[in-house]
Amino acid sequence: MDNSLKKLQAEREAMLPPELEDRISKHVGTLSLFSNVIEVFVPNALQVVVRLVGGEDLPCLKKYARRKAHENMDWRTPPTPSLPDPL
């Protein structure tokens, strides 16, 4: 014996077009590909803009600096400041 919510859900599912799942799957695939492209190209594009303007490399985009910071982490010692002290 089904309750009224299960009957309502079955009626709603019967009203959906059958190709809806395929369309959603294609959109998810497109968004996944787009996110991979953004992950690869946006940091490099920011780095190029900074270099064109005449600045130095952005420290947040340096992967080796992030890896090195996590190698020697110890909870007993306070972290070293990564930014210079304001005057």
> What range does the domain containing 57 cover?
27-72
84 falls in which pLDDT band (50, 70, 90)?
low
The whole-angstrom distance between residue 37's C-alpha and the CA centroid of its chain comes to 11
- What's the domain count of the chain? 1
Segment 59-87 mean pLDDT: 61
Residue 60 lies in a domain: yes
Residue 63 lies in a domain: yes
Q: Which of residues 1 and 65 earns the better pLDDT score?
A: 1
Percentages helix, strand, coil for the chain, rounded to the nearest 5? 65, 0, 35
Residue 51 lies in a domain: yes
Nearest to 83 by CA among 67, 64, 60: 60
Nearest to 41 by CA among 51, 49, 30: 49
pLDDT at res. 12: 85
Find where tokens 């309502």 sit: 8
Residue 3's φ and ψ, nearest 5 degrees, are: -85, 175
pLDDT at res. 30: 93
Residue 20 lies in a domain: no
Residue 46 lies in a domain: yes
Q: How much is the pTM?
A: 0.41
Residue 5 lies in a domain: no
Find where tokens 């400041």 sit: 81
Residue 53 lies in a domain: yes
Residue 49 lies in a domain: yes
59 falls in which pLDDT band (50, 70, 90)?
low
**Which tens digit of pLDDT belongs to each residue from 12-48?**
888 888 788 889 889 999 999 999 888 888 888 887 8
Q: Dihedral of the CA atoms 12, 14, 16, 20 (nearest 10)?
A: 130
